[in-house]
Structure 1
Amino acid sequence: MTTQQQINIAAPRSGDIDPKYIRQSASSSSNWEMFKWLFMRISGPILLVLIFTHLFTNLMIGDGVHGLNFGLVAGKWASPLWQIWDLVMLWLAMIHGTIGVATIIDDYTKKDSTRVAFKVVLYLASIAIVVLGTLVIFTFEPCMTDAAGNLLDNSPSFCFNQ
């Protein structure tokens, strides 16, 4: 005859959890967690539409993958629609990904100093990518000229047809 041992598991939030593993948020009454949760649920489906439309127009229309070149990007970014499309895709993807990775950092780091270091690196990298990506989208000039205003020899062929 075997005897069963009774295992007592503490109820969630009962106070029986080791306090060194409990972190308090900056403000328990803030809606920051709700905003992040809502943003992730809204941005996910929007990103799916943005990304699959982007892939369809770049890979299925025209020459497919063999048509991906500088000229294709230059032609697309000549239109404000595609500039805004790619900008929204960049911003949503970076914010969505940054929130996701920050959540993973919160879940898997125990030391506050490690958590802060990882998040500082994450936020700085995300800001740098968003700023640089935004600059590329809005300052992209496929038809480069010299100081005298003449087209450079290595400019794409469509620049000479203007």
Structure 2
Amino acid sequence: MAKVDSPRSPYVRRKTTRGNYELYSWVFMRASGVVLLVLIFGHLFVNLLVGDGVHAIDFGFVAGKWASPLWQVWDLLMLWLAMIHGTNGVRTIINDYATKDATRGILKGLLYLAFAVVVVLGTLVIFTFDPCPPGAPAELLASFCTA
């Protein structure tokens, strides 16, 4: 059984092998949270309030947005920041609640695998999206596509 120090004993700083990683992680969570608020509310404003609102969202709407490099970068930043932010939060929860090293390792391995799959697939979708696929019905295509 581990010995617990007396409440009146002087504080002794224990040496850590992690350096400032947790501090930087904490700062990143605060900064990325603020940036994500701007990105998400900008996304919601453009998609839900501008123009015909939610009723205008279809293939052509997304194709028109992703034809612009601005919206590709906007959505890429939103994807990457949200995934890194969420992965870091879940990593912290795993470190706090998984008591066995093996369990912690398996859970974090699955977490990082899920992160990698979502980020790679999401990035591929954003940059390989063809707004004018051949053979698509003309009414579903964006206005700038030639049918």
Post-superposition offset of 1:160: 2.5
Match of 1:87 among 62, 76, 84: 76
Other-structure match for 1:54: 43
Q: 2 CA distance for matches of 1:105 and 1:43?
A: 20
1:100-152, CA deviations, whole angstroms, 9 ceiling, x for partnerless residues? 0000011111111111110000000001100110000000002123xxxxxx1
Give the aligned CA root-mean-square deviation in angstroms.
2.4
Quick check: which has more Rg, 1 or 2?
A: 1
Are 1:119 and 2:108 matched, yes or no? yes
Determine whether 1:11 maps to 2:7: yes
Residues 36 and 82, structure 2, Cα contact 8 Å, conserved in 1: yes
Q: CA deviation at 1:11?
A: 3.4
Between 1 and 2, higher relative CO (CA 8 Å, sep ≥ 6) is seen in 2
- Indicate conservation of the 8 Å contact 2:67/2:131, yes or no: no
TM-superposed deviation, 1:12: 9.8
Amino acid at match of 1:32: Y
Q: Secondary structure at the match of 1:114?
A: helix
Specify the SS of the correspondent of 2:131: coil
Question: Counterparts in 2 of 1:73-152, with a 5 A limit?
Answer: 73-145=62-134, 152=135
Deviations 1:40-79 (A, max 9, x none): 1110010000000100000000111111111111000000
- Count of residue pairs brought into register by the alignment: 138
Structure 2 residue aligned with 1:154: 137
Hey, what's the Cα distance between the residues in 1 that align with 2:53 and 2:59?
14
Which contiguous aligned blocks of 4+ residues in structure 1 show a shift greater than 3 angstroms?
8-15
Identity among equivalent pairs (%) = 58
Does the Cα contact within 8 Å between 2:48 and 2:54 map onto a contact in 1?
Answer: yes
Q: Which structure 2 residue ranges, 5 or more long, are not aligned?
A: none
Report the CA distance shift for 1:154/1:12 in structure 2 as closer, same or farther (over 3 A): farther
